[in-house]
Amino acid sequence: MKKTPEPKKRANLRDVAKAAGVSVATVSRVLNEPAVVKKDTLEKVQTAIADLKFVPSAAARAINSGRTRFVGALVPTLDNAIFARFLAALERKLSDHQLSLIVATTEADLDIEAEKAKSLVDIGAEGLIVTGVTHSPAFHDLIERTMMPTIITSFFDPENPLPTIGYDNAAAAQLALQHLNDLGHRNIAVVHGPVHNNDRTRARLAGLKDFPFTGELTTFETEISHQGGADVAHKLSNLDTKPDAILCLSDVVALGILLGFQAQEIAVPDQISMVGVDDLPTSSVSVPPLTSVHLPVSQMGERVADALAHWITAQQPPEPERLDAYIVVRNSTKSADKSST
């Protein structure tokens, strides 16, 4: 007495056509250009669609149009607000182009990156967005084989084979050093995240090296987190000769240092000046507000979205694009002579 042998099967175009007593072409027209369908036919079909709870198959559409309408972005982490802000802008602008965004995190591991890139391509991504110019051979293979439109962000390099849309990391770091130099600081601690698998950080450090600075530059590597910053604050406070300024290549870490210093009652900027790089929203409300090099990540998200959408539709890669970083001077820095009170 079973009456439900296979009730689960989803209705398809043919089913709807049969139910409405029309051809598949008509149903397809109701879906795509209802204007050309006569009114009562239209209604008949729409009723059938509603009755059968018909939902067109995305895959079948995609197979004809050759479009899946989504792209993938590979970022090291979502835990750093700088990427979250980039992705927010990217997603917003992509949806103007009728594109959805798949986010995949790589944990700054090139193998994970290649693997996730592969799975993005496998499920049909029409384009890829990646962070930095350094990638595994497997990744480059994949991009070359599939000719997948791929844009590199957070990095500007007009020479790179894949188009880059981003800022000049070396220049951004130099902006910070310039500022400290102008203020007369001579003994500067440079605090940065892991350089392994992070070409942005390496480029920034290289930029600092290239800058004509005659004072002392000491580097400290730590985790990119508030905790990582707090750890460095602790380390710095135990030093025999303390630096008179800190140049921090990440605001998250800078904020952590700031908190660490507060806990130890080291006064910023009176005892020590601090510059960050990123200019997170939080940096403007920290105590003291943090002087920081602003990275235009929201703008970057928008430019990347436009460029990738254009690449996909017009089959033409975009020109590399440099977005300018600039320093925002707040109250975490002051000139060296006054700090030796």
Binding residues for DNA, rule: CB under 7 A, are 10, 12-14, 21-26, 28-29, 31-32, 36-38, 40-42, 54-57, 59-61, 63-66
* Candidates 30-38, 103-111, 181-189, 240-248; binding stretch for a second copy (CB under 8 A): 103-111
Picking from 95, 67, 91, the residue whose alpha carbon sits closest to that of residue 78 is: 91
Task: Report if residue 55 touches a second copy, rule: CB under 8 A.
Answer: yes
* Residue 332 near residue 291 (C-beta atoms within 8 A): yes
Q: What does residue 100 show for φ and ψ, rounded to 5 degrees?
A: -95, 165
| # residues contacting a second copy (CB under 8 A) | 61
Structure tokens at 38: 């006569």
Q: What does residue 71 show for φ and ψ, rounded to 5 degrees?
A: -125, 165
Site string for a second copy, 281-300 (x = CB under 8 A): xx-xxxx-------------
3-state secondary structure of 73: strand
* Residue 188 near residue 245 (C-beta atoms within 8 A): yes
Site string for a second copy, 207-226 (x = CB under 8 A): ------------------xx
Measured between alpha carbons, how far is 330 from 127 in angstroms, rounded to an integer?
39
**Shortest distance in whole angstroms from residue 147 CB to DNA:** 14
Measured between alpha carbons, how far is 164 from 42 in angstroms, rounded to an integer?
48
Q: Is 172 exposed, middle or buried (0-12, 13-18, 19+ CB in 10 A)?
A: buried
CB-nearer residue toward a second copy: 144 or 210: 144
**Shortest distance in whole angstroms from residue 141 CB to DNA:** 18
Where along the sequence are the contacts to a second copy (CB under 8 A)? 8, 53, 55, 57-63, 66, 68-70, 72, 77-79, 81, 84-85, 87-88, 91-92, 95, 98, 100-105, 116, 119-124, 145-147, 225-227, 229-230, 255-256, 259-260, 262-263, 281-282, 284-287, 315
